[in-house]
C-alpha cells in the first residue's frame, strides 16, 4: 500500500527532478492516481483498507486534494475509497511540498529571460533546475550573452570581454549555458559547425583560443636553435616554419607517442621528432612542409595505437610506421600487457601488414586485449629501427 508519506515523497522527487517545472503548462490540473482497491482486497484485508483510507482522510496536507470513488461491496455495502489527488495549479502543489518560494522564483526567472528573447524562455522551460541554480548570476549572464550576440565572432580572448561585473572565471563557470544559448540565438553564419562541444566554445563562436602547442626535438645538433634541441611552439607557427619555395633542412620527421621514447630517440642527421598527442593531430593538417619529408610514426602495438596511426595517415598519407610490426610484438612476449579498453572500429588507413596485425589484436587471436607499450621495446631494437629509417629514401 502507498501511504500519504509515500505519496509526498514521490511528488517531492518528481518536483526536484524538474518534472512540474517543465510540464506545468500542460499537466495542470494534475491528478495523482492512488493504488486501486479491489473487492477481493476489501474482503481479505478490510481492517487494513480502513486504516489506509483513514490515513488519507486524516492527513491535514493531503486531505484537501483528495478525490474519492464509490465502491460497492457485497458484504460492506457502499464505500468511498480515495482514488486520486487533484492539484488545480502548480501553486497548490508547491505549497504542499514547501516549494512555494522556489516556484515563485522560477516564474520570475523565466519571465526575466522571456523579456530578453523568447528562445531563451523555451530553453529555461527545458532546463528549469539549471535556471534555478543560476538565479543569482542570471542578470550578469544575460548581459554577457547580449554582448556576445552584439559582437559576433569577436576574434578576442574571453579575458578581453569588457562587460561590468564580468570576469574570466564567471565566463568559464557559465560556458555550458552560454554554449546552449548561443546555439539557439546566434546567427547561423556566426557559428562554426566544424567545432562542437563546450570544449571548443571559442572556436565555434569566433573567440581566440589558447593555441595548440607542438613539441618537437631536433635530432641533428647542427639544427639546434641557439643551443636548444627540445622546443615547443604554437601549431600555427610550426606549420609556417617553412614555405613552399624554402629548402628544407629536415629530411625525416619521426612522430613518437611516448615522451620518454621521443626524448631518448637516437640522433639522426637532418631529422626531428614530433611528440605525439594521441588522437589530437588535427592542428597539424595545414602543415604543408611535412609532406615534403619522410614521415615515420611509432606508437604502442595495440588497437588504439593502430587507430591513431590510421588517423594520422589520413592527414599525411605517405606516413610509414616502424616498430609496430608482428616480429617486434612476438620478440617482446615478456613485456606484453593488457589494453584496458580496446578500440573496435575499422581503421581505414592501414597497409596490409598493419591491418592483419590489428585484426589479430581486435579479435584476440594472439591473446585477450594484448598490448605492447612502446617504452618496453628494447633500446637496441629502437637503435636498429632508427638506422633502418635513416637509410630509406
pLDDT single digits (tens) 89-131: 999 999 999 999 999 999 999 999 999 999 999 999 999 999 9
User: What rounded mean pLDDT belongs to the chain?
Assistant: 92
3-class DSSP state of 380: helix
For the chain, how are helix, strand and coil distributed in percent, rounded to 5? 50, 15, 35
Query: Residue 4: is its pLDDT beyond 70?
Result: yes
pLDDT single digits (tens) 147-168: 999 999 999 999 999 999 999 9
pLDDT above 90: percentage of residues in the chain: 81
Query: Residue 376: is its pLDDT beyond 70?
Result: yes
Query: Residue 74: is its pLDDT beyond 60?
Result: no
Query: Residue 75: is its pLDDT beyond 60?
Result: no
Q: With contact defined as beta carbons under 8 Å apart, do 110 and 131 qualify?
A: yes
What is the predicted pLDDT for the residue at 46? Answer: 66
Query: Residue 50: is its pLDDT beyond 90?
Result: no
pLDDT single digits (tens) 238-253: 999 999 899 999 999 9
Q: Quote the cell numbers at residue 293.
A: 619529408
Q: With contact defined as beta carbons under 8 Å apart, do 1 and 52 qualify?
A: yes
If you write DSSP's letter for every residue of 36-92 in order, what string do you get?
A: P--HHHHHH-HHHHHHHHHHHHT-TTTGGGEEEEEEEETTTEEEEEEEEEEESSHHH
Query: Residue 39: is its pLDDT beyond 80?
Result: no
What is the predicted pLDDT for the residue at 77? Answer: 54
Expressed in angstroms, the distance from the first to the final Cα of the chain is 82
Average pLDDT on 260-286 reads 93
Q: What global pTM score does this model have? A: 0.67
Average pLDDT on 219-234 reads 95
More confident residue, 181 or 3: 181
* Domain 213-391 classification at class level: alpha beta
Q: With contact defined as beta carbons under 8 Å apart, do 389 and 254 qualify?
A: yes
Between CA 122 and CA 142 the distance in angstroms is 15
Strands 77-87 and 66-73: antiparallel
φ, ψ for residue 301 (rounded to 5)?
Answer: -90, 90
Query: Could you tell me the residue ranges of all domains in the chain?
Result: 4-97, 101-205, 213-391
Count of Cβ atoms closer than 10 Å to residue 279 Cβ: 11
Query: Residue 73: is its pLDDT beyond 60?
Result: no
Average pLDDT on 73-89 reads 76
Query: Residue 37: is its pLDDT beyond 80?
Result: no
Strands 230-234 and 213-218: antiparallel
φ, ψ for residue 25 (rounded to 5)?
Answer: -70, -20
What is the predicted pLDDT for the residue at 280? Answer: 84
Query: Residue 76: is its pLDDT beyond 60?
Result: no
Local confidence band at 14 (pLDDT 50, 70, 90 cut-offs): very high
Average pLDDT on 59-76 reads 77
Amino acid at each position: 500500500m502507498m501511504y500519504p508519506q509515500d505519496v509526498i515523497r514521490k511528488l517531492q522527487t518528481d518536483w526536484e527532478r524538474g518534472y512540474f517545472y517543465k510540464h506545468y503548462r500542460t499537466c495542470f490540473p494534475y491528478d495523482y492516481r492512488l493504488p486501486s482497491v479491489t473487492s477481493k482486497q476489501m474482503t481479505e484485508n478490510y481492517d487494513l483498507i480502513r486504516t489506509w483510507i483513514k490515513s488519507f482522510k486524516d492527513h491535514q496536507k493531503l486531505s484537501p486534494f483528495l478525490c474519492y470513488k464509490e465502491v460497492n461491496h457485497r458484504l460492506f455495502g457502499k464505500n468511498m475509497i480515495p482514488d486520486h489527488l487533484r492539484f488545480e495549479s502548480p501553486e497548490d502543489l508547491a505549497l504542499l511540498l514547501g516549494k512555494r518560494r522556489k516556484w515563485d522564483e522560477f516564474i520570475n526567472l523565466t519571465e526575466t529571460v522571456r523579456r530578453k528573447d523568447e528562445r531563451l524562455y523555451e530553453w529555461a522551460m527545458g532546463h528549469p533546475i539549471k535556471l534555478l541554480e543560476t538565479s543569482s548570476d542570471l542578470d550578469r549572464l544575460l548581459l554577457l550573452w547580449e554582448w556576445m550576440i552584439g559582437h559576433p565572432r569577436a576574434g578576442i580572448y574571453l579575458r578581453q570581454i569588457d562587460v561590468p561585473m564580468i570576469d574570466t572565471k564567471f565566463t568559464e563557470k557559465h560556458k555550458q549555458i552560454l554554449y546552449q544559448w548561443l546555439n539557439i540565438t546566434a546567427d547561423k553564419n556566426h557559428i562554426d559547425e566544424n567545432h562542437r562541444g563546450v570544449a571548443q566554445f571559442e572556436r565555434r563562436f569566433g573567440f581566440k583560443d589558447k593555441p595548440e602547442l607542438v613539441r618537437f626535438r631536433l635530432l641533428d645538433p647542427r639544427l639546434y636553435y641557439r643551443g636548444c634541441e627540445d622546443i615547443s611552439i604554437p601549431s600555427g607557427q610550426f606549420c609556417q616554419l617553412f614555405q613552399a619555395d624554402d629548402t628544407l633542412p629536415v629530411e625525416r620527421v619521426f612522430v613518437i607517442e611516448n615522451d620518454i621514447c621521443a626524448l631518448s630517440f637516437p640522433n639522426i642527421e637532418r631529422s626531428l621528432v614530433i611528440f605525439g598527442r594521441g588522437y589530437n593531430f588535427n592542428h597539424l593538417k595545414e602543415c604543408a612542409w611535412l609532406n615534403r619529408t619522410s614521415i615515420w610514426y611509432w606508437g604502442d602495438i595495440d588497437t588504439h595505437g593502430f587507430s591513431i596511426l590510421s588517423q594520422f595517415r589520413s592527414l599525411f598519407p605517405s606516413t610509414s610506421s616502424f616498430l609496430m610490426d608482428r616480429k617486434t610484438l612476438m620478440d617482446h612476449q615478456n613485456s606484453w600487457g593488457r589494453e584496458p579498453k580496446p578500440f573496435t572500429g575499422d581503421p581505414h588507413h592501414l597497409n596490409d601488414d598493419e591491418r592483419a596485425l590489428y585484426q589479430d589484436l581486435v579479435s584476440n587471436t594472439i591473446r585477450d586485449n594484448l598490448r605492447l607499450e612502446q617504452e618496453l621495446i628494447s633500446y637496441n631494437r629502437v637503435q636498429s629501427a632508427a638506422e633502418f629509417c635513416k637509410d630509406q629514401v
